[in-house]
Amino acid sequence: MNIKLDDNTPIYLQIMNIFRQMMASGKLKPGDKVAPVRELAGDYGVNPNTMQKALSELEKEGLLYSDRTRGRFVTRDNKLLNNLRLKEAGLAASEYGRIMESLGFTKEEALDFFMKATNERGQDKQNA
């Protein structure tokens, strides 16, 4: 369950971000069917109208498209998806920088921490 955080970000934007992340990381793949609005609304504990807004905004961005009869699907536009992936990576990098700055570390120190962390996980052997 969740705790109450003082996050002023509108709920539909929070949801859009979650979907963007799932699409960028391949958890949602091109052409995948998206669950019905009402089901998703239940899953995330939000009003169906809010969920509807989030999904239609994602459609405006081209990341989703809907077929009135069959439902809603993830775009097959790989270029768009790759741009999304690059954007999400930039956000993650920025967020990492923001945290390290708040902890009082320099850019160089942040790099050191990252090198050390990835070496421990052997991440350099992994790629997409």
Partner DNA sequence: GTGGTCTAGACCACT
Partner DNA sequence: GTGGTCTAGACCACG
- Chain contacts with its own copies (rule: CB under 8 A): 1-7, 11, 14-15, 18, 24-26, 43-46, 60, 85, 88-90, 92-111, 113-114, 116-118, 120-121, 123-124, 126-128
Q: Which is nearer to its own copies, 68 or 116 (CB)?
A: 116
Q: In which order are the strands placed within the sheet that holds 64-67?
A: 33-34, 71-74, 64-67
Q: Which does 96 bind (CB under 5 to 8 A by kind): DNA, its own copies, none?
A: its own copies
- CA dist 56 and 58 (Å) reads 5
Tell me the per-residue interface mask from 32 to 61 with DNA, x by CB under 7 A, - otherwise: --x-xxxx------xxxxx-xx-xx--x--
Look at phi and psi of residue 122 and say left if phi exceeds 0, alpha if psi is from -120 to 50, else beta: left
- CA dist 18 and 22 (Å) reads 6
* Helix, coil or strand: residue 103: coil
Summarize as ranges the residues that interact with DNA (CB under 7 A).
1, 8, 10-13, 34, 36-39, 46-50, 52-53, 55-56, 59, 66, 68-72
